[in-house]
Amino acid sequence: MIPLTLAVATDALLKSDFDAVRASGAVHPLWLREGLTMRAFPHPDIDTWRSNFKGQRVVDPATGATIYGAVDDIWQHRDTGQLHIVDYKSTSKQGTPSLEGGFGDGYKRQMEIYQWIFRTAGFDVSPTGYFLYVNGRKDGVFYESGEGRMLFETTLIPYVGDASWVPGTIEAAVACYKAEEIPASGAACDTCRYVTERAGHSLST
């Protein structure tokens, strides 16, 4: 997989930015701009939840399978106490980023799985999650005072998730894993399509 080094850098900067207000309890300028009554959720396990090799782990009650995911951040509504899952995205393209087209559907599923995981862990999670997009600009001056600088526009996209599909999908995945036979390939599977096309074969629909 190609390393997304610029995205890693912007993720680190955003986490540092929100960790500063998490520690102080201050209001972040982004929340003021968006009219949100939030705070960065203060929890001793926040770094574990954000670690790609640890994350938040829960046991699916129906299958006994361990499901985990690493979030970018969690905000808490100051009035309701509900948690809002936050996912950082980085890009550099024309126009305002959106969840329509491209990887949008995958991002939505990712958000819904995170919401299911934290609800299963016993947290009061709002159905509204947030995608915080940073979009690299191509205007302005790059070199300033001897340093190279790239400006970013930030777009906050609220998304109301529906995680009702997650339990059934976990059950289907576990059943597939335990089955005696390998499932047939299909045109709807990206991995199957890649493997067969590389081998010069075609897939049935």
Mean predicted lDDT score pLDDT of the chain:
89
The pLDDT of residue 200 is above 90: no
Query: What is the tens place of the pLDDT at every residue in 43-84?
Result: 999 999 999 889 999 999 999 999 999 999 999 999 999 999
Report pLDDT for 203. Answer: 57
Q: Tell me the whole-structure pTM to 2 decimals.
A: 0.85
Query: What is the tens place of the pLDDT at every residue in 1-37?
Result: 455 677 888 888 999 999 999 999 999 999 999 999 9
Report pLDDT for 1. Answer: 46
Q: Which two tokens stand for residue 195?
A: 């493997």
In whole angstroms, what is the distance from residue 147 CA to residue 66 CA?
46
Q: Which amino acid is at 106?
A: G
Q: Coil, strand or helix: which one is 42?
A: coil
**Residue located via tokens 């190609």:** 2
- CB-based contacts of 79, cutoff 8 Å, min separation 6: 37
Task: Answer left, alpha or beta for residue 64, where phi above 0 means left and psi between -120 and 50 means alpha.
Answer: left
Report the candidate in 29, 54, 28 with the shortest Cα–Cα distance to residue 41.
Answer: 28
